[in-house]
Amino acid sequence: MYLLEINKEHKSLLGVIRHWENLKTAFDADSIWIKDFSFEQINSDAVLQIPYVHMYELKENLLFEKGKLLPSKKLPSGLLWTPIVRALPVSLPGFNHNFFGINHEIEISLIPSEEIKDAFALLVNYNDLKAYIETAPRFRLEPLQWVIIDDKILIIGNPQLPIKGSVYWFNNYFLIPVGYDFEWFSLIKKLQDKLNPSAEKMILWNKDGTYTAISSENIKPLSLSSFRLTFS
């Protein structure tokens, strides 16, 4: 069995794994203990990126630091285990991203994610799309939509075009880079309510946590004629 130990003062760092409902948590005088990790979870990027933690494997009540052959110490006795979602409740007071205009601030970050997500949109250069679309069959373009984002073009829908570019997955009107997800998953609903309350936009997120709001009125079907008309 795998366990994780972290000092109580670093409790907030555990937010990245709080949604793993199989985990159980206990507290002693100075530390927070978490157990019931699967092999995949204990080796995931989400766990490995948490600073100030000690990871152990429990054998006959002895704690072996991950990757070491000799025991470090015994598991404290009398620990009372409870599901992590109860032990670490989400608290959303007045803090938010700096564009929310509320008293406190919190940085919205995207972090690498091992979860496999279906691609939904592709951000490409104008010249790359122009070279493809000039000879592409009509049926290949019909399922897709497009919109101009600064000096690039966002193609929405599937099947995606065989053009190099940045790929995004879709989550409740958010377009998120494939291979990434929000660090603070508990803020997603709050973000939706603040950035897109009427669901009239798509929000394109960048890996650095910045975003672009895309009005649904600017999104149009992809076709050679609409492309030429726009750039004529």
pLDDT at 70 over 70: yes
Q: What is the average per-residue pLDDT within 192-197? A: 81
Residue spans of the domains in the chain: they are 2-87, 106-230
Task: State the Cα–Cα distance between residues 146 and 12, nearest whole angstrom.
Answer: 40
Task: State the Cα–Cα distance between residues 214 and 219, nearest whole angstrom.
Answer: 8
Task: State the Cα–Cα distance between residues 58 and 75, nearest whole angstrom.
Answer: 8
Q: pTM surpassing 0.85?
A: no
* Coil/strand/helix, residue 71: strand
pLDDT for residue 104: 44
pLDDT tens-place string over residues 18-27: 778 888 988 8
pLDDT tens-place string over residues 148-189: 998 899 999 999 999 999 999 998 889 999 999 887 766 677
Q: What is the Cα Rg of the chain in Å?
A: 23
Q: Which residue has the tokens 């938010």?
A: 96
pLDDT tens-place string over residues 27-47: 888 889 999 988 888 888 778
How much is the mean pLDDT over the chain? 83
Task: State the Cα–Cα distance between residues 11 and 158, nearest whole angstrom.
Answer: 41
pLDDT band for position 52 (50/70/90)? confident
pLDDT at 12 over 90: no
- Amino acid (1-letter code) at residue 4: L
Q: Is the Cβ–Cβ distance between 115 and 46 less than 8 Å?
A: no
Poorest-pLDDT segment among 81-90, 99-108, 129-138, 146-155: 99-108
pLDDT band for position 222 (50/70/90)? very high
Q: What single DSSP character describes residue 174?
A: E
